[in-house]
Structure 1
């Protein structure tokens, strides 16, 4: 376990652990650049091999993805007792899913789009970088801001 200078006891996850956590989740956020504007979209996803796969419909997200510009995907979660949290980020390039459709059924047999409508575009994020962190949750009282909002607090 490595610690940051503030002694937060943040553990940097190995890539294998990152993929394990991603496989245990199904909700994440996709960050794209739409023209010159960053956009973030919540989505449900599945992991196929070592790629993030999701369905989408025509619109802002798909237009941004079709540019081929790099994207970032993040998912996070916590243990059953809410005492430890994790966060994983996958940075990579979006491409049309080229795998066997049967692998999608194996990877996420119960995955359904959240919104109505046809989500006919299957996209995979081919990872260039995978990183993750895990750390203990601080006591709730530590999350409150200080009462003094003087300039030296900023």
Structure 2
């Protein structure tokens, strides 16, 4: 019977002419703050959903807005994933950061005041986006990909 590869087998490998390097957690957080949009992944009704969302980072927590009655807000997000990437097509290089952890509604009035006071990109999706979620990662992983030297 064939063996099943470890879940990180593909995450840890690069293409034949490519090099892949682990990004330390502190650098992952620094890179995440250079972008403003990523993809939120979560399970809903037995399927994996992935939604693009705008975000901001404060003290190693990732915050995003959504609608009160939308798919994200009405889903269970205790096992969420968030991915942020940067690709340089000309150099054929880039990086990817994956954050795993629960996403919970922000209800603290002081934190909400802070979040509403931050200058952030307007959400891409139409409609009211006035519910903040806090993704508090329990696992942060990053890879940098480039040409093998």
Deviation at 1:16, TM superposition (A): 0.5
Of the candidates 31, 34, 39, which is equivalent to residue 49 of structure 2?
A: 39
For normalisation by structure 2, the TM-score amounts to: 0.77
Q: Secondary structure at the match of 1:17?
A: helix
Question: Is structure 2 residue 13 aligned with structure 1 residue 13?
Answer: no
- Give the equivalent residue in structure 2 for 1:118: 128
Question: Is structure 2 residue 80 aligned with structure 1 residue 86?
Answer: no
Give me the CA root mean square deviation: 2.5
Deviation at 1:129, TM superposition (A): 0.1
- Give the equivalent residue in structure 1 for 2:8: none
Does the CA contact (< 8 Å) of 1:48 and 1:103 recur in 2? no
Could you report, residue by residue, the CA deviation over 1:101-147 in whole angstroms, capped at 9, with x for unpaired residues? 454367x5142122332112100111110000001158xxxxxxxxx
Q: Which has the higher contact order (CA 8 A, sep 6+)?
A: 2
Runs (5+) with no aligned partner, structure 1: 139-154
The count of residues paired between Structure 1 and Structure 2 equals: 133
For normalisation by structure 1, the TM-score amounts to: 0.75
Could you report, residue by residue, the CA deviation over 1:28-85 in whole angstroms, capped at 9, with x for unpaired residues? 0000100211100011111111011000012222111xx3431000010035964420
Runs (5+) with no aligned partner, structure 2: 1-11
Higher normalized helix content (fraction of residues): 1
